[in-house]
Structure 1
Amino acid sequence: MSALFGLIPDTAAAAIWAMVVASLLPLVMALIAKAVGGFKLADNAHPRDFLQRTTGAAARANAAQQNSYETLPVFLAAVLVAMLFFVPQSIINTLAWLYVLIRIGYGMAYIANLSMFRSVLWVLSIICCLMLFYLAIRISI
């Protein structure tokens, strides 16, 4: 059975693509922060200084970028551990792509300043990771 209503094939490649997309989300958030904040070519000499001076939606996009980097290692480890312990690929793919979709929503909620919704999405994304670890543990017992 294919993952996410038949949209994702039951192959390891689908989980790997989810990891690639999740790894690119911080970059997307940084690009949004720069675009909204009015980044100019001259700002490229010190882009972190530029991002620290931003306010409003640009600052929130930068914060979403930072949080994306913070949760990424947990997600990558969870997917790899689940694959290592032979959790059914359809489950891995479903949870991996669900994580990616939730994190996209998280970034949008952060930029839109929907703090409570953002926090709920953060918890849901971590639950995806924890479920992958839990399933790997259950299989290894």
Structure 2
Amino acid sequence: MSLFFGLIPDSAASGIWAMVVASLLPLAMALTAKAIGGFNLADNAHPRDFLQGTTGAAARANAAQQNSYETLPIFLAAVLVAMLFFVPQLIINTIAWLYVLIRIGFCVAYITNLATFRSILWTLSMACSLMLFYLAIRVSM
């Protein structure tokens, strides 16, 4: 069985892939920040100094990178706990991929300086993680 016209399968692999994609988002934001900021090979000696010196969209992409690292452990733990407590896999996968899509939207909103929309997306992404924890608690009762 699958949801959303077959886009989200009910196998554990789908949830694991969502974790992989979410784990790669900070890297994608770092590369975006470097590309927008004009990073070159000489900057590789001190890449953090380079990123700290960026402004505008590059600085916001770097901030999106940092925020992605900050929320990632909560998401990863939530997915694993939900799997450990046998929340139905299709529900886990749907929420996990929803989290990924919301986080991609969050990064785009951050880079394009849509502050209020970004905050709404951040809240929704955290709600996904908290929902997985909640479902695990409900199943374990």
Supply the distance in 2 between the matched residues of 1:38 and 1:59 (Cα, whole angstroms).
Answer: 12
Gaps of 5+ in 1: none
Supply the distance in 1 between the matched residues of 2:48 and 2:35 (Cα, whole angstroms).
Answer: 14
C-alpha distance after superposition, 1:47-100 (max 9, x if no partner): 000000000000000000000000000000000000000000000000000000
Q: How many residues align?
A: 141
Aligned pairs (5 A) from 1:15-54: 15-54=15-54
Using the size of structure 2 for normalisation, the TM-score is 0.98
Using the size of structure 1 for normalisation, the TM-score is 0.98
Q: Percent identity?
A: 82
Aligned pairs (5 A) from 1:40-119: 40-119=40-119
TM-superposed deviation, 1:2: 1.1
Contact 1:30 1:61 in 2 (8 A): yes
The letter of the residue matching 1:42 is A
Supply the distance in 2 between the matched residues of 1:67 and 1:137 (Cα, whole angstroms).
Answer: 27
Supply the distance in 2 between the matched residues of 1:132 and 1:2 (Cα, whole angstroms).
Answer: 19
Q: CA RMSD in A?
A: 0.7
Contact 1:60 1:113 in 2 (8 A): yes
Contact 1:3 1:91 in 2 (8 A): no
Supply the distance in 1 between the matched residues of 2:122 and 2:114 (Cα, whole angstroms).
Answer: 12
